[in-house]
Structure 1
Amino acid sequence: MKLLHIDSSVLGDDSVSRSLSAEIVAKLKALHPSIDIVYRDLASDVVDHLSIGHIAARYGAPVEEKGLLGDIAKGEEYLAELADADIIVIGAPMYNFSVSSQLKVWIDRIVVAGRTFKYSETGEVQTLLPAAKKIFIASTRGSAYASGSPYAAFEHHESYLKGVFAFLGLHDVTIVRAEGLAYGPDARSAAISQARGEISAISA
């Protein structure tokens, strides 16, 4: 069994999403002691945003841009890691109502027509990934955006991630959320405590 652990916060040791994603991985490791873990820190191990050079290379054009070959190779590693993983754990803080740009870059490298999905002749999306993957998302937010919140309409974070994975045929998604982290020390502590309780309840 293989687990892909991804962090995307730029806050380093001060990141709540990093702390929670690590706790999720520790819980899963306790449940599956022989699990093989691959770790990606998208904030420190940075790849470039997609460029015309990336797209041209994908369609067979010669690579002339300096450094592009190595960057493309890292994108291939992302694809291989995703395909091989039985479980994916993602630390995903909300930045300006959506995911971090670092996580978006990873998404742009793994949502690839002909590699992770394809369109049928009638326009139907068909996944090219094994569907039996479990995904755990450590979601952190400064404010509250859940249904019923006055800011719910600004939520393009968890819904975006769930949409991306559903598009790829991956529907087994568990979200561990800590929100309202910017509301003060008591609210922050309560949100983290609640998230840790959800992590402790993970059973598979």
Structure 2
Amino acid sequence: MWQAFVSDAFGQGYHGSSLWNHLGTSLARILIAFLCCVLTAVPIGLLCGRWHSIRAIVAPLVHFYRPLPPLAYYTLLILWFGIGEMSKIMLLFLAGFAPIFIACVSAVESLDPAKMLVARILGASGWKLFRYVIFPSTLPDIFVGMRTSLGFIYTTLVAAEMVAAESGVGWMVLDASKFLKSDHVFVGILAMGLTGLVLEGCFRCLERLFVPWKGKAE
């Protein structure tokens, strides 16, 4: 396994690409999909938590596709978006959208009514109510949803790189497993696990930076 790691990382690589190139390709797909999830799921989830009419339209769709295994609809994504990067990113996006959406809806629903009442008494309404009360109060739950979402995206990576892919650490693990190259499989698994730990650590640092009051008495 050590020889495979040296070869993949610093030698000829796996199928002509180094381990770092495979990791870079996979991380690019993950981060693009995750960014799209955050930019869409957070506002939609907060709106659905605030207004029941919007939730009645969006929530059933999310809860319908959420329990479906990714491979069940990956073929449809390939038919609609082709075999390139778009279908892979869309698969990762759908895997990561639901956890953030559910966390945002749940966070708004669990807001303390007393806080909302006091804010209204003090003159907050509309945008100010959202900016100074709703959004800060839901940030801890949003970060939990984001961390869960990133985990779902990472576990779906292998499925996303199954079809028409020639790079990516998930593809590397799959291709090596077909030819019983267990040393390369272990290298890919360790690479994914270690990068997952690094991403988790980065999220904890961001959480401490943006939500310093979490876990502390008010």
- Scaled to the shorter chain, the TM-score interval is under 0.3
Return the TM-score normalized by structure 2: 0.26
Give the number of the structure with larger relative contact order, counting CA–CA contacts within 8 Å between residues 6 or more apart: 2
The answer to which structure has the higher strand fraction is: 1
The answer to which structure has the higher helix fraction is: 2
Who wins on radius of gyration, i.e. which is larger?
2
